[in-house]
A and B are shown apart, each in its own frame.
Chain A
Amino acid sequence: MIWLDLVIIQRALIGCLLAGLLTGLIGVFVVRMRLSAIGYSMSHGAFAGAALGVAASVNPLLTALSFSGATALLIGPVADKARLHADTVTSIAFPLNMALAFIFLTLSPQIGLSSEVASVLWGSIISMTNNDLVYMTALCASTVALIHFFWKELFAIMYDRKLAEADGINTKPFVYFIIFLVGLVVTLSLKLVGGILIFALLFNPASSALQFLHDMKKIVIVSPAIGSMTCVSGLMVSLVLDLPVGSCIVLVSTFIFGLSVLLSPKRRRKEVKQ
């Protein structure tokens, strides 16, 4: 078990709650709109940006934000221009970002896996600052507000984008908006879980909630709750066992997903039918 300053623990706890809430909430849209590759691409975009920040001795948060923002802004229009599914374009962006990340890390003046490089890769609760929490709180509030205002359109797009379009909803700005939001959420959650593992937090809570619920409105409440609970539990496990926080959070969230698949009433009823 490791002992850390109470302030660091408090910051980490609040960070976990906020990151879990954000990733759990936005993850519902990623899963339902089948934007899974975007999750990978955003996280690796942020990772590449942070690596550039380390190499250039600039605040990695800023460069991570620029990279994931640019990736987010480009994916939608490029997919539309190339007439490819967004998932295909993100699959192209994903290795590109990884390649850039490794080049930047190679160019880094710091030797080996310095603490800054490692925090980009695996996350580091110690490096979490009050500013990070302020940004996350602001993003949390604006995300919840925007989802509330545009819930009707997002709900229809999640059901079927083509049908939503047939009903006269201009789906493009909403899909781009979700992609951009994923970029922001991933970047701000990077310090907690790290660039390699962050996407687990995008998919696992939403996929777990979908195992139990038939009501989309309940899912967007339960998924962030699962996300927050997962992050806090992962943090506790990491502190007790002295293991990396990001890895522990991913293990806990995967465990919760496995458990929800086993206990899912949807699955049980299907088996009884068979």
Chain B
Amino acid sequence: MEPTIRLEKVSTIYEGERRPAVRDISLILNENELIYVVGPNAAGKTTLLETINGLLSTSKGEVFVLGLNVRVRGKDVRREIGYVPQDFMVEPGEPYTALDVVLMGRYGKIGVLNKPDEYDLERATEAMRLMGVDELTNRPMGKLSGGQQQKVMIARALAKEPKILLLDEPFSNLDPDSREKVPALIGQIHEERSMTTIVVTHDVHQMLKRCRRVIVMNSGRIIADETPQKALAILERPTGSRAAELLT
């Protein structure tokens, strides 16, 4: 059976850079798998997510998502992926309500020339209710707190009814209470909807509690693909020791 996500020796290099942001990455994720990706800043975590959804083109190797080559069928792949980018904040005064933003998540899926209908609206309001932001429906996005905006962005990704969920630091602006509740909720929705989910985070505590598989990245490479406990042990070693061992 074709894995949901398959990366074959993938490298992605940014325009003007000499060193790839992710290097020679091979990775397989099966249906309904939930993994956390951890690593220091500039480890290549965000680049990995944007390589998977095809927002960034690979300089080497191929990415297959849902059996489709992302290089060729990027648009079709992205219609099935719910993506929450890192630190996405809206300026105060932006003319978009929270509901606009959540509903917008479905636009790619709806297709050109089709208008959102009752079903789309129901999915959007359901996702907002799940994330506990249904009372903010008509509030301007820019007037919401950082944590509320982050929940709206997660609701936006869920409203799409994606087969794959890519979350880049989705809990960073949440208050302590939500930092416990939202990851648990993501785990629950992941189970219920059989989504393949990748969560990039710095929150080791959540990593230990919420998944069975952790990818540790450093300098653009995957240096470990382990259970959370083993991944934690690697992370707690002196900086670079495991990385140095694997890179030489």
Whether B79 contacts A168 by the Cβ 8 Å rule is: yes
Whether A152 contacts B75 by the Cβ 8 Å rule is: no
Interface of A is mostly: helix
Chain B residues with Cβ below 8 Å from A164 are: 104, 107-108
Q: Please, which residue of chain A has its CB at the minimum distance from the CB of B140?
A: A214
A197 to chain B, nearest CB (A): 27
Interface of chain B residues 50 through 99 with chain A (CB within 8 A): 53, 55, 75-81, 83, 85, 88, 92-97
Whether A168 contacts B78 by the Cβ 8 Å rule is: yes
Whether B85 contacts A169 by the Cβ 8 Å rule is: no
Chain B residues with Cβ below 8 Å from A270 are: 92
Whether A215 contacts B95 by the Cβ 8 Å rule is: yes
Q: Please, which residue of chain B has its CB at the minimum distance from the CB of A165?
A: B55
Contact of B104 among A83, A159, A170, A219 (CB under 8 A): A159
Chain B residues with Cβ below 8 Å from A159 are: 94, 96, 100-101, 104
Q: Does A210 contact B (CB under 8 A)?
A: yes
Chain A residues with Cβ below 8 Å from B76 are: 168
Report if A166-B107 is in contact (Cβ < 8 Å); known contacts: A152-B115, A213-B95. no
A272 to chain B, nearest CB (A): 13
Task: Give 1 or 0 for each of A73-92: 1 = CB within 8 Å of chain B CB.
Answer: 00000000001000000000
Task: Give 1 or 0 for each of B98-116: 1 = CB within 8 Å of chain A CB.
Answer: 0011001111111011111
Q: Does B15 contact A (CB under 8 A)?
A: yes
What interface size band does chain B fall in? 35 or more
Whether B95 contacts A166 by the Cβ 8 Å rule is: no
Q: How many A-B residue pairs have CB under 8 A?
A: 78
Q: Does B160 contact A (CB under 8 A)?
A: yes
A209 to chain B, nearest CB (A): 9
**Interface residues on chain A, number (Cβ under 8 Å):** 26
Whether A155 contacts B53 by the Cβ 8 Å rule is: no
Q: Does A153 contact B (CB under 8 A)?
A: yes
Contact of B15 among A83, A153, A170, A210 (CB under 8 A): A83
Contact of A152 among B94, B95, B97, B107 (CB under 8 A): B107
Q: Does A3 contact B (CB under 8 A)?
A: no
B170 to chain A, nearest CB (A): 14
Contact of A153 among B94, B96, B105, B112 (CB under 8 A): B112
Whether B107 contacts A153 by the Cβ 8 Å rule is: yes
Chain B residues with Cβ below 8 Å from A152 are: 107, 110, 114-116
Whether A155 contacts B104 by the Cβ 8 Å rule is: yes
Task: Give me the 7 closest cross-chain CB pairs, A-B, nearest first.
Answer: A168-B108, A168-B79, A167-B108, A168-B78, A214-B140, A166-B83, A216-B95
Interface residues of chain A, those whose CB is within 8 Å of chain B, are 83, 149-150, 152-153, 155-156, 159-160, 162-170, 210, 213-216, 219, 266, 270
